[in-house]
Amino acid sequence: MSEILSMKNRVALVTGAGQNVGRQIALHFAAHGAEGVVVNDYFLDRAQAVADEIEAAGGSAIALQADVSSHESVQAMFAKARERYGRVDALVNNAGNAGATPDAAARKPFYETGPEVWRTWIGVNLDGVINCTAAALPGMIERKHGKVVTIISDASRFGDAGMEIYAAAKAGAAGFMRSVARGMGRYHINANCIVIAAMGTPQIEARMAADPERTKKVMEKYIIRRLGKPDDVANMALFLSSGASDWITGQTYPVNGGFTFAL
């Protein structure tokens, strides 16, 4: 295990870690020596399954349910994390959603909906990032060290027709991270983003299988012609949460197969 990419003596909290990318990030942290991993998910059974997987491999983890869109729920989660481990050294804001309905094609244009729908996008993708970061920062400031990593989307940088509110929420999260980086640098706290494109989740793979012609057109936009894998993102999250990134802050790193380039 490379010492510079080690999570030794670090406690990490990963939101939305019950499946897919979040799960792999949590597993990566544990495999690289994390003192403890706080596995968050909206569904406790999913979080518990990942925590059990970490402990079965010899690591230390705790599963905590929380709705990241709720300030009170997040505060309670961090209190429990501190009870178990005493601190949170690295926060990964991974929890996100792509809207209220499972089928993107079935969504109405945003101007035909209203705030009750918009909040389903903004609550997790923006409010959740703000809530969790606000809960993590006081302890990091006190210890004069910390890492905050937020997972965003290419929609936040270049737009995505039909996903206007989602794109706005993710762009807001990116702007928030840059401002956190500027404000927290004097405390040796790093704040960065990872921007991802289409990931090979069961949901996305099912959609693509149902429309091969559209899938072909979409995949032609990727220089590396495959969907993303959870490992692809977990490797970057590990780098940005480890000592290897101590002089890197306020940045956005595309992990997207060349779908878009860094600006």
- Angle CA 94–97–98, to nearest 5: 135
Is 111 annotated as catalytic?
Answer: no
**Is residue 151 classed as helix, strand or coil in its secondary structure?**
strand
* DSSP summary character for residue 174: H
Distance CA 124, CA 195 (A): 16
H/E/C letters for each residue in 103-161?
CHHHCCCHHHCCHHHHHHHHHHHHHHHHHHHHHHHHHHHHHCCEEEEEEEECHHHHCCC
Distance CA 29, CA 32 (A): 5
CA nearest neighbour of 146 among 195, 92, 96, 95: 92
Catalytic annotation, pick one of 42, 85, 166, 253: 166
Q: Show the tokens assigned to 180.
A: 């956190």
Parallel, antiparallel or unpaired: strands 146-153 and 189-196? parallel
Give the contacts of 180 (CB within 8 A, at least 6 positions apart): 133, 137, 148, 189, 191
CA nearest neighbour of 129 among 176, 195, 80, 72: 176
Catalytic residues: 166
